[in-house]
Amino acid sequence: MSIAPAFDVRADHDEASVAPIVRALGRTAYEPTWRAMQAFTDARTPASADEIWLTEHPPVYTLGLAGRRAHLLRDNGIAIVHVDRGGQVTYHGPGQLVAYLLYDLKRTRRGIRDMVRRIEAAVVAWLAGVGVDAYCNVSAPGVYVMRDGIEAKIAALGLKVRNGCTYHGVAVNIDMDLSPFRDIDPCGYPGLRVTQLADFGVRRSVDHAGRELAPLLARHLA
């Protein structure tokens, strides 16, 4: 898989010298992107810059390391890929922004839980900026909103740490077909509602959303 040129987030970053490289990949097939993240992580050195990859995928279910097939409720023809991130099952598809976070935890001197909370905080801050109130749940990673009086998940998160470095990341539902979520227990939680930015009357393309969110991710992870 060829890696896209970077765009600059340094103007929105507190320390330009440590700003990550951000790459807008466009729509990519899931498995080659996953393998590219593994290869990047295996090849990086202590001097390698951290990177954020922004993409969206064709329809695919991914099942994490501890994933149970029981959470796949019915076969609807969408491919299932077993992956090496944490968590259970989730769905990726067109209209969903996926931000892959390739960070050196040793350099940041942060633990994985702190990184998860910072990623969530960046998404919450971005949603607040477009007029959507969102929050985190300490017992269930991700970002949640209240819709029609019911809690619903708007962003799912899962990471892998290899050699002290992270890959995988966060998926934010922007403007997509949510029906494939009905055929799984999202993130392993039966009955969990799922929503998206468009349900709140906010219209963004995946590319536009990524360019807004990336500087916030960079700042929160600095």
- 10 Å Cβ neighbour count for 5? 7
In a domain, 138, yes or no: yes
End-to-end Cα distance, the chain: 28
Provide the residue range defining the domain that includes 55: 6-220
| Tokens, residue 75 | 């076969």
Q: Which residues contact 149 (CB under 8 A, 6 or more apart)?
A: none
Helix count (H) and strand count (E) of the chain? 4, 12
Task: Give the count of domains, the chain.
Answer: 1
Both tokens assigned to 99: 């931000």
Q: Determine the pLDDT at residue 16.
A: 42
Contact between residue 175 and residue 80 where contact means Cβ atoms under 8 Å apart: no
* 5: confidence class by pLDDT, cuts 50, 70, 90: low
Structural domain contains residue 1: no
Q: What does pTM read for this prediction?
A: 0.92
Q: What is the CATH number of the domain that holds 101?
A: 3.30.930.10
SS3 state at 136: strand
Is position 82 within any domain? yes
- Whether 12 has a pLDDT exceeding 60, the answer reads no
Report the catalytic residues: 187
pLDDT above 60 (res 190): yes
User: How many CA atoms are closer than 13 Å to the CA of 181, on its beta-carbon side?
Assistant: 24
- Segment 88-122, tens digit of pLDDT: 999 999 999 999 999 999 998 889 999 999 999 99
Q: Is the pLDDT of residue 174 over 50?
A: yes
